[in-house]
Amino acid sequence: MPGHGGGYPAAPDARPQGPPGLSGAHRPASFEVIAGDASSSYIVHVPHSSTVIPQDVRSELLLGDEALAEELRLMTDARTEELALTAARQVAPRPWLFVNRLSRLVVDPERLPYGHEEMTEVGMGSVYTRTSGGKALRDLGQPAEKDLLKTFLWPYAEAFADLVDERLLVAGRVVVVDLHSYPQQTLPYERHQDARRPQVCVGVDVDHTPAALVERVTAACSIIGQVVVNEPFSGSYIPLRHFGRDIRVASVMVELRRDTYLREDGSLDPEGARNINAALVAILGG
Ligand SMILES: [Zn+2]
């Protein structure tokens, strides 16, 4: 599987190299492709489950250890990787997984860089400059932002788009299931403070989410609780290479409210996790 098998930076091809200040022999891989069956058209995207921040990136953040831990607690889609993996193992043909191995506080692969993104206005574009509570997170100059994008965002986006192209070639179509979770309490950075917060929010795109897919995902998720489309969050991850260009690439976002599967201490609630598993298996087996 040339191109993305080992994840960054192990891939031997011509991926952009980190700038001198950001290089380092022990940098953890920034993403991982977990292979599914050759015939599967499903890719489960898990962008926000990691809390890993490389030391050189950590040293640029303006938060003490305690404040950083709290921000990670609020912003990490805890255990979504585990939920995705467990479900994927039960589905034939087995779906592919694309997992972000770094925290969204390093770069957020779901956001668009350079002002194309409404979240940039609140300091939470692809490189966050503010916390979810509006405190300063980074003192970011343009070169530093460029370096972060070059080191982490572009290789990630390219590898994801390559995986989509590879699946298109083999399966003729792709369904991206963009798996997230979100807190019960509204965070100050959120744009739509009065929106409902159902147990499941299904994010859809006007061009890339066929009605039948919305229906299927909504029906599957009803075992978890109330399901609402595009509220409080909207849209779903589609690589820029395919966005608006190739409707063979379908995408749907599943945002699980965290109290549906997580206990206060961060452990999995068995019944909630079972329901989510059933929903994901139904979605990925369709
Ligand atoms: Zn998320």
pLDDT tens digits, one per residue of 84-118: 999 999 999 999 999 999 999 999 999 876 656 67
Total domain count, the chain:
1
Token reading at 282: 């139904």
Q: Are 68 and 128 in contact (CB under 8 A)?
A: no
**What's the CA-to-centroid distance between 9 and ligand 1, angstroms?**
24
Q: Which amino acid is at 32?
A: E
Q: Determine, yes or no, domain membership for 6.
A: no
**What's the CA-to-centroid distance between 179 and ligand 1, angstroms?**
7
Q: Determine, yes or no, domain membership for 268.
A: yes
What does the pLDDT look like over 10-40, one tens digit per residue?
Answer: 333 333 333 334 444 456 689 999 999 999 9
Q: Are 106 and 153 in contact (CB under 8 A)?
A: no
Q: Determine, yes or no, domain membership for 79.
A: yes
Q: Determine, yes or no, domain membership for 17.
A: no
Q: Determine, yes or no, domain membership for 95.
A: yes
Q: State the CATH number of the domain containing residue 133.
A: 3.40.630.40
**What's the CA-to-centroid distance between 91 and ligand 1, angstroms?**
23
Q: Provide the domain limits for residue 187.
A: 31-284
Q: Determine, yes or no, domain membership for 12.
A: no
Q: Determine, yes or no, domain membership for 276.
A: yes
